[in-house]
Structure formats: structure tokens, C-alpha cells
A and B are shown apart, each in its own frame.
Chain A
Amino acid sequence: MSAYTVEIRVMPRASLLDPQGQAVQHALQALGFGDVASVRAGKHLVVKVQASTREEAAAKARTMCDRLLANPVTEDYECSVSQ
């Protein structure tokens, strides 16, 4: 078993309204960043996990996302594993 770090990015599904991202976009535009075309706001989670292989760590992270960290109705996620 070795220690792996899994970085998980959870984003609101692209087809759904993301009012938080929109609010940030408007604030950026008010700050003078008029060329900001869109902002989407999600979550970044860093999970340290013990696993025997990199693939096992990734599989565990995907299960964590499916069961808790992301809502399958509204969110998509991506995991990247490092040691």
C-alpha cells in the first residue's frame, strides 16, 4: 500500500444554470475584465488515500465521487492521481 493524492474536480453540469459562476462573471466584468466570456464555479477536493496501485486509488476516488462527492443529477467530476 502506498499513499496517493487524488485531486477531484466537481463541476456543475454544463447544461445547468450556474448562478454562482454567473455572479462571479458579473463581478469580474464590473472590475473591468469586460472580455470575460463565462465563469463556472465548482469544487476542488484533495483526498489522500492508501492504495496498492495508482489505478486502485483512481477507482476508489471514482467510487467516492459516485456515492458522495458529486451529485450524479447535477454535477460532473474528474479525478487525477499523484503519488
Chain B
Amino acid sequence: MQRVAVVVFPGSNCDADTLDAARAAGSDAYYVWHRHTDLQHADAVILPGGFSYGDYLRSGAIARFSPVLRAVTAHARAGGAVLGICNGFQILCEAGLLPGALMRNARLKFLSRPVDVRVEATDTPFTSSYERGEALTLPIAHGDGRFVADAETAALLEANGQVVLRYVTENPNGSMHDIAGVCSAGRNVVGIMPHPERRNAQLLGGQDGARVFLSLEARNATQHAGDLRAVDGRHLRV
């Protein structure tokens, strides 16, 4: 069981769904208020969607200076898993934990609807339970989702396989290279615009998002399996 810290900023509004989705996947998920700097021994940190600080100045620009971001940055620098969903993605870009930035949708409208995306990278803590090239339907809900980066950064992202999700069939917001999600060079920090926590059960219209959270637990299971040792013909957990 992974310990999953869901950070709550003033203006977060997907925190409860994200907590539920992580718990449904079997994680020990709990909230961490943005003023706190103790992640309580989290294995993974999730920055949920919403409108932290009312999106004032730029989406994520002010949340990036919340005390909790110091702890999240230290966690990320130490190789810990960090996922930013929607506003969380914007915050990670503003904090410099992910490359690029998210700008106003090309056609200005706030978009709240399901979109088709393709899983481009499965070697991240949050996508390891998907197949590479798998098509998913996940909801988006954003006004500032147009991923931009300078040409050199974009080329590096492609060359290093750091594009995690890509829009297919249509690009809803004008994102460069149809990018819907990216990861850090170390692959432990992931940011995605779609909301997997809104698609983790048939009751919600589909469960294409569930494996984002199950991937964390699968990783955990693998780690534990590696810890099993045969001793006197019996398997003991060490």
C-alpha cells in the first residue's frame, strides 16, 4: 500500500475525487494542506485539479510559492513520484518541476468534456499499468491547457520520450505536438491535463483513468515481490 499525499490549495476542487480514486486503487491516501511542509512520509504526491488562488496572475503561479511546494520539490528531487492533474500540472510547470507552460486554450473557451488521448510513455509511476499506444477516453476541464515550450525543449521532450499523453482525433486546446501530458527527465514527475479521477469507475462513464492510480500500487506490489526471499522452503517478507 502506497502512502499518497493529496495536496489541498485554496481553490482546489478535485481533491476529494482524487483522494477517492487513490483509495479505490488501494492506496493509503490523505490530504496535506498547502501551508504544511510535512508530507507525512508520502510515497507519492498528487497536486489535484482546481483553481488554486483563483488562477490569479497565471494558473498555478501563486500556488507554486505555497510552503508545501518546498516539500514537494524536495520529494521530486529525491526521485519521489509526483503527479499534477490539470491545475496541478500548471503548478508543476510554474515550479520548474516540469518543462514548458500551459496557456489559454487556443479558442479561449473553457472546455469540459471527454477527449481521446493516447498513452505514449508507460515508464512512469502513473502510467506503468497501461500499454504503450493504448487509446483512452478521459475528461478534460480547463481554460488554460495549451501546452507550450520553446522548440528546443519540445524536441528534447520528443527525443527523450517525455510526452506521456497525447491528444488523438482532435487537439482541443491548441497544445504543441498535441501534448496532453509530460514527465520530467527523471520520469518521476508527471503532469497531465485530463482528469483520470473522473473516470475510474463504470458509474462515472468509464474506468480508463483508474490505472493512473493502480499503477502506483502495481509498482508497490513489484517492489514487495522483490523483497520476498525463500527461507527454509518458505517465503518470508523481509
Contact = CB atoms under 8 A, between A and B. Distances in A.
B101 A74 contact: yes
Interface in A48-77: 68-69, 71, 73-74
B148 interface: yes
Nearest to B93: A73
Interface in A1-46: 12, 16-17, 19-20, 23
A19 B61 contact: no
Contact of B94 (A16, A23, A71): A71
Contacts of A19: 104-108, 174
A69 B65 CA distance: 12
Nearest to B153: A73
B103 interface: yes
A12 B106 CA distance: 13
Q: For B62, B104, B107, which residue has the most chain A Cβ atoms within 10 angstroms?
A: B104
Interface string B56-70: 011001100100000
Contacts, number: 34
B149 interface: yes
Kindly state the interface size class of chain B when it binds its partner.
Answer: 20 to 34
Given A68-B57, A68-B65, A23 B103 contact: no
A14 B58 CA distance: 18
Contacts of B11: none
The number of chain A residues touching the other chain, given as a range, is 10 to 19
Contacts of B103: 12, 16-17, 74
B96 to A, nearest CB: 9
A69 B61 CA distance: 8
Nearest to B107: A19
Nearest to A22: B108
A83 B104 CA distance: 35
B232 interface: no
B100 interface: yes
Interface in B32-64: 57-58, 61-62
Interface in B60-82: 61-62, 65
Nearest to A68: B61
Nearest to A23: B108
Interface in B71-118: 93-94, 100-101, 103-108
Question: Closest 5 CB pairs between A and B?
Answer: A73-B101, A74-B101, A19-B108, A71-B101, A19-B106
Interface of B: 57-58, 61-62, 65, 93-94, 100-101, 103-108, 146, 148-150, 174
27 contacts: A12-B103, A17-B103, A17-B174, A19-B104, A19-B105, A19-B106, A19-B107, A19-B108, A19-B174, A20-B104, A20-B108, A23-B108, A68-B62, A68-B65, A69-B57, A71-B58, A71-B61, A71-B94, A71-B101, A73-B93, A73-B101, A73-B148, A73-B149, A73-B150, A74-B101, A74-B103, A74-B148
